[in-house]
Amino acid sequence: MKKLSNEKKIAILVSILSLFILCFKTFKDENISQSVPVMKNNKEEVKYVYPFGKIIGVKANTDGMLVIGYEEDDVEYIGGIKKGDNIIEINDQKVSGSNDVAKILRNVKSDKVKIKFERDNKYKTDYIKIKNENGTVKLGLWVREKISGIGTITYCDPNNLKFKAVGHAITDEDTNECLKISQGDIYELSNIQINKGSKNNVGKIKGDIITSIPIGKFRNNSNYGISGNMTGKINTDVQLIEVGKKEDIKLGNAHILFEDKDRNITSYDVKIKSFVDDKKNDRNMIIEIIDKDLINYTGGIVQGMSGAPIIQNNKIIGALTHVFKDNPKKGYGIFIDEMIELDKRY
């Protein structure tokens, strides 16, 4: 891949805003029972998937409770717990929400509790004082246990109905920590509205999540997005597309798939401007929106668009992940190889 010029390196340092977006697309029942051929080309497997680009809603419960703040800055009872820690157990009992905490604390006879928590992917244990306020026992911490948002699905594998979405980690809005998900669901979305992006304003997608029946379930949440399985009745008319490899990707013209105002999946023109050597993050290439119809519709890349598939030379080669904060027409994309690699680890 081409090395970045100093000008492009500076551009990469531009403030960006992570998009929390997922996508979804269904397919006809008869497609579910079809076996999809895996062809050989120079002794390498050629994979085919259904590309998506449909906006959906997502809801999930966290695995444990993410600490996002303190009721008051009192180190005596907060102990060694920091913002961004994920509490797993209290007094050797697993917790997944405030109801679990209240139940445990009601039976505590000491003025301290044993906390097992996760920090930087390592498990730690500490004893902290608890807070008694008007007869109510508290930890004195603000925690996050549920999340909801809007996003875009990238693709679905026809052989196992596994979907990939977002292209980046679902993170907490207060701590920016990657959330540990115990169980998540994706849903249809209604009453969709687009707040257009501009130089001084990051746009976003709004809508109502239809929570009656989930259309997919997931648990995996990583720097490469979320991964799960489609559920329920699924319908689609999209065609299978070959999965491209890193070496297939070229600078220049490409397009993304995304819902238009009539909720039809539409192809929009983009340019792959440069490649990014950033192995620690979900950013492999810089993408510029050049399609006038999409710019008129959304202003460019908006929150809720992450995961929109990038197509080049009739191959799916990646997904949108982030937007530049001061230029909604530009953002980052991740290679499809990186997203598929997650599936191999679960």
Q: Which residue is listed with tokens 């920590």?
A: 177
The counts of H helices and E strands in the chain are: 6, 25
Give the H or E element holding residue 216: strand 216-222
Annotation marks residue 291 as catalytic? yes
Among residues 172, 255, 306, 322, the one annotated as catalytic is 306
CA neighbor of 24 nearest in space, from 202, 178, 191, 214:
214
Pairing of strands 225-230, 309-312: unpaired
Annotation marks residue 168 as catalytic? yes
Among residues 222, 291, 322, 337, the one annotated as catalytic is 291
CA neighbor of 230 nearest in space, from 52, 95, 84:
52
CB distance 157 to 243 below 8 Å:
no
Q: Classify residue 214 by its DSSP letter.
A: -
CB distance 90 to 138 below 8 Å:
no
Collapse the DSSP code of 172 into the 3-class scheme (helix H, G, I; strand E, B; otherwise coil) and give the result.
Answer: coil
Annotation marks residue 306 as catalytic? yes
Pairing of strands 241-243, 315-324: parallel
Q: Which two tokens stand for residue 186?
A: 């994706």
CB distance 96 to 65 below 8 Å:
yes
Among residues 63, 157, 168, 337, the one annotated as catalytic is 168
Catalytic residues: 168, 291, 306
